[in-house]
Amino acid sequence: VSRAVITGAGVVSAFGVGLEPFLDGLARGATAVGPIRSFDASAFPVRVAGEVPVAEVGPAWVSAHLPGHDGAVARWGAAGCFRDRKVAFALLAAAEAWRAAGCGPGERAAGLSVAFGIEHTLFDDLALLFDGRDVDWARGADAPLPPVRIRTPFDLGARVLLAHLALEGPVAVHASACAGGALAVAHAAALVERGAAPLVLCGASDSMLEPFGFGGFCRLGALSPRSEPDACRPFDRRRDGLAIGEGAAMFVVEDEARARARGARPLAAVLGWGSSQDGHRLTAPRPDGAAALRAMEAALRRARVAPEAIGYVNAHGTGTPLNDVAEARALRALLGPAAARVPVSSIKGAVGHLMAASGAIELAACLLPLGRDLLPGTAHHRERDPECDLLVVGEAPAPARPEAVLSNSFGFGGQNAAVVLGRCG
């Protein structure tokens, strides 16, 4: 049976562009949540986020991080692709992963399994159609020059990646909210194991840091109301909501034998995965964590890893009152007595909640223990909530050398995903 391994990773996060700045930031125990700079958020109820440090994403910024592709980048810029920040983030993370894996023209048969967040609503364009009372949709239908667009296509990022890398393999575009990134990586591993593709570029990208998306989350009441860098405090007694983040994480997942034959160095093995649905309520997770538990159990079963053999859990850990308690209950049920000695942390206090990309970037965070023997800390976790009875790694990263790690991702609407990564010899 073939084994799927990660041979390259790329990240765009609030720590900057690149996997190393991201892992370095986590290794320092730093936090990158701060005041929003990409739009004027001064009148918004919340004004902080884990924002990628660039005010305006455009061809110049993309080209600076993607040298040698100025022509293509300029064309995508002219076509408006980078008006949706997540498209640029996906491109940069994918290019880094592809390069890091040593992929070239010989890997064109690769597949693509990616997740994105909701379409980016182009309010500036809509405002052009607004006559003071209503939107003149018929005028929009006539596509006046310049054409007025309502939103960017959901799969725009996938189209750009396919064009940039000329990939010829199977394509899957996941739409599973905050579980999407983890499901996209899991699906990539499945495609490799089934022989459907020799390797798969996979991961996720998202940005809700535009007025409509961010405002919608403000309205939903899920955000911490405190506009402070410690807005998100996972598993902490004082937690009061999440901090939005943005960014992307992409990976090259391939058959281990193939990877070794071409001289690629596996960073981690994708050992198992599982998914479930809460089937409970729109606005809250199942309080007992039973559905999340089923996803974790399925992942461990597939990985053939016993719960007590898990050396670290990267929790979904949103910092919302209900989610953290439900996840803690699920983990207690999964780990049993081992819960007292299996360290758990969440990186959402450091970089925010990357929504559709959260599962992917949290798998990238798992490369810290698997590659540098260091567990990410839980930024702003100072007073453990007794209801979250777990061995939570505090603010400082902790040295450890786990053989297998579990990463959880739970989506709005109740989709749950869990992925087990293992150390490669």
Partner 1 sequence: MTAPRRTPGSAAIVGAAAASAYGLRWRGLGAALRDAALAFAPSAQLGATHPGTLASEVPPARAGEDPTDPKARKLMSRAAHLAAMALSRALADAGISSGREAVGYFLGLGASGGPIEELHAILRACAAGGRLDLGRFARDGLPATSPLLAFHLLNNLVLCHGAIAEGVGGPNAAFHSRGSGTFLALEEALWALDDGACERAVAGGADSALHLGTYVELLQGGAIAEGLVPGEGAALLALSRAAERPLGWLDRCAVRRGPDLRAAADAVWDAVDPGAPDWLVLAPWGPPARETLRGVARARLPGAAVVDASAGLGDALAAAPALACAAALDLVSAGGGRALVLGAGLDGAAGAAILSSGGRG
- Return d(Cα 278, Cα 180) in angstroms, integer: 15
Distance CA 258, CA 131 (A): 59
Whether residue 280 lies in the annotated active site: no
Known catalytic residue: 65? no
Tell me which of 353, 380, 381, 388 is the catalytic residue: 353
Minimum distance from residue 129 beta carbon to partner 1 (Å): 9
Indicate the residue among 74 and 150 with the shorter CB distance to partner 1. Answer: 150
H helix runs in 221-315, sequence order: 256-261, 290-303
Structure token pair of residue 331? 């983990």
Q: Which is nearer to partner 1, 138 or 337 (CB)?
A: 138
User: In the complex with partner 1, which residue's Cβ is closer, 245 or 397?
Assistant: 245
Under DSSP, the state recorded for 21 is H
Instruction: Count the alpha carbons within 13 Å of 161 in the hemisphere toward its beta carbon.
Output: 38
Measured between its terminal Cα atoms, the distance across the chain in Å is: 17
Between 216 and 336, CB nearer to partner 1: 216
Alpha helices, DSSP H only, in 101-207? 123-129, 137-141, 156-165, 180-194
Q: Which is nearer to partner 1, 152 or 345 (CB)?
A: 152
CB of 381 to partner 1, least distance (A): 27
From 120, 174, 187, 316, active-site residue: 316
Question: What is the closest distance, in whole angstroms, from the C-beta atom of residue 299 to partner 1 in the complex?
Answer: 11
Q: Computed from CA positions of residues 378, 243, 232, 295, in that sequence, does the dihedral angle turn out positive or negative?
A: negative
What's the rounded Cα separation, in Å, for the pair 385 and 261?
49
Dihedral angle of Cα 413, 351, 400, 99, to the nearest 10 degrees: 100
Largest Cα separation within the chain, whole Å, is 65
353 part of the active site = yes
Choose the catalytic residue: 81, 120, 174, 178. Answer: 178
Kindly state the smallest distance separating residue 140's Cβ from partner 1, in Å.
Answer: 5
* CB 236, min distance to partner 1, A: 25
Indicate the residue among 28 and 219 with the shorter CB distance to partner 1. 219
Distance CA 189, CA 198 (A): 10
CA angle, 307 then 256 then 406, to 5°: 20
Closest distance to partner 1 from the beta carbon of 132 (Å): 7
Q: CA-CA distances (angstroms) from residue 214 to 99, 204, 266, 363? A: 33, 19, 37, 24
**Which residues carry out catalysis?**
178, 316, 353
